[in-house]
Structure 1
């Protein structure tokens, strides 16, 4: 990290029990753009105002912007690695790109805090944006995903989380920022639950109860854990995940909202390529036989300093 790096948004906020994910598109016209620019400077104050009511609620908000929105809102000088979401895979097993200009990732240990903050954030925007996707996530028992395995085991912590997620002197104009990819996955739980525990463990690459990684001698090379480990120049490259289960049992909807932060989109995209295309090609992630990606967008999360300066 460079010295005097601008203060980042709460990308590496500790994991909480509740979250709301909202993706919105920007309305056309300079009036809408100006409304969003002015709103950016007020985000931190709204988080403080709502969070003060429950001091131990751990309320936070991360706001990101897509490639297209950046040009409209902030001009042609963009973060060095920001681009539109890259699709991977083939029809029927594809990481698809879906519309989205603005991401809001709200976290707290109480859903009412997330709900109140979402309400207060959207109110001043009016029709300047349209929310195209909203997911209310919950923490599932002992940090388990919808398919019953512990999620986020390999997340970096402390200084390593900052190093993995926060842009430094590789792009000094946008230091303190972070890249984030979000995807919504829906699971065929009937098919998944027809597998034995041992079969599920081979798909994931970990023991279900203990969360211990399977030995390489028995772990399939196309297991989820094998394909989501990213290496560059012989070293593992970490990303920070804060995935959340969501669903509506009455509608037979069971899902996982994937959200991954990194200081470059490269490891995130390499992970998706490994999963959907395969390593080698065709040797894709077995979990995708039971899970389908129904959304996908890449955003850049600027520093808190960048957002607050927009109020001047």
Structure 2
């Protein structure tokens, strides 16, 4: 990162918490909608302080993403170089659907009540300028496992590797310090998954279930595991990481079991290539077998501008 370009990033690398709310909104056609949205985004730091001050140990954070269709209207600033709507990815058997969304609020805290209170105050402030597209409440499950029983997020970058993998740098100076975000809401066929033996599940995931040990990659041109298909390298052999903050969600009473995928990346093409490999297959035709048990209901792309940029949105 260049020290000559002053910016303050959003808390895209906030620690994984016990609770999270994923709130996707669309902007309405009311007369003052854009003005209200701009004012709210510019002052969201104050709104966050109003909630987080109630328990400073609760690791409260909120990251804001702006969708491709809303970027020009909301920011009136140059577009991030790679920002475009989420492209549908259609394989022979499974499809990564594309769904609408103008604004994303990724709300996190160790306390569910703080997430609730922030969302309530946020929606009160936005009023009729927005409409809720999707609201999903996630929770940490045991030792950071998904509802399929495997540890999730092991491949995340750590330490100095986080900003390098997540934050846009000098390659796109107008939006330096920002991050691309892709979200997908997956529901799992738990009953079918449970019919598999542990060894079969491990072969699909690419890790052992009990102790999370990585399994060897399959030979080229053969069926690859989810772990292998989600590992992305460029033409020079350099591996590119993304930051996942996935959370389980669901309701046993209604038979809903799912994982909310959210990936932050410095380069949008990395996540899009990952999805191509999963849904189309690598080689083509050999899709990610996890998709036989997990179906995406949503797919939306956002860009999280720096906090410094957000603060300028209310300037006349």
Give the alignment's TM-score, normalised by structure 1. Answer: 0.97
- The correspondence for 2:226, drawn from 224, 227, 230, is 224
- 1:251 Cα shift? 1.1
- 1:77 Cα shift? 2.4
Q: Who is 2:278 aligned against?
A: 275
Which runs of 5 or more residues in structure 1 are unaligned? Answer: none
Q: Who is 2:101 aligned against?
A: 100
Q: Who is 1:26 aligned against?
A: 27
Deviations 1:216-248 (A, max 9, x none): 369974211010000112111000000000001
1:1-312 counterparts in 2 under 5 A? 1-3=1-3, 4-75=5-76, 77-90=78-91, 93-216=94-217, 221-232=223-234, 233-312=236-315
Deviations 1:261-296 (A, max 9, x none): 001111000100000011111111010000001100
Which runs of 5 or more residues in structure 2 are unaligned? Answer: none
- 1:167 Cα shift? 0.7
Counterpart CA distance in 1 for 2:137 and 2:131 is 17
Secondary structure of 2:32's partner?
helix
Counterpart CA distance in 2 for 1:5 and 1:231 is 30
Deviations 1:197-225 (A, max 9, x none): 11110110110001001133699742110
Counterpart contact for 2:41–2:310, Cα < 8 Å: yes
- 1:75 Cα shift? 2.8
Range with greater deviation from structure 2 (174-183 or 88-97) = 88-97
Counterpart contact for 1:185–1:293, Cα < 8 Å: yes
Counterpart contact for 1:102–1:299, Cα < 8 Å: yes
Give the alignment's TM-score, normalised by structure 2. Answer: 0.96
Counterpart CA distance in 2 for 1:14 and 1:193 is 31
Deviations 1:73-98 (A, max 9, x none): 22362111100101112375111000
How many pairs are equivalent?
Answer: 312
Counterpart contact for 2:9–2:177, Cα < 8 Å: yes
Counterpart CA distance in 2 for 1:30 and 1:181 is 30
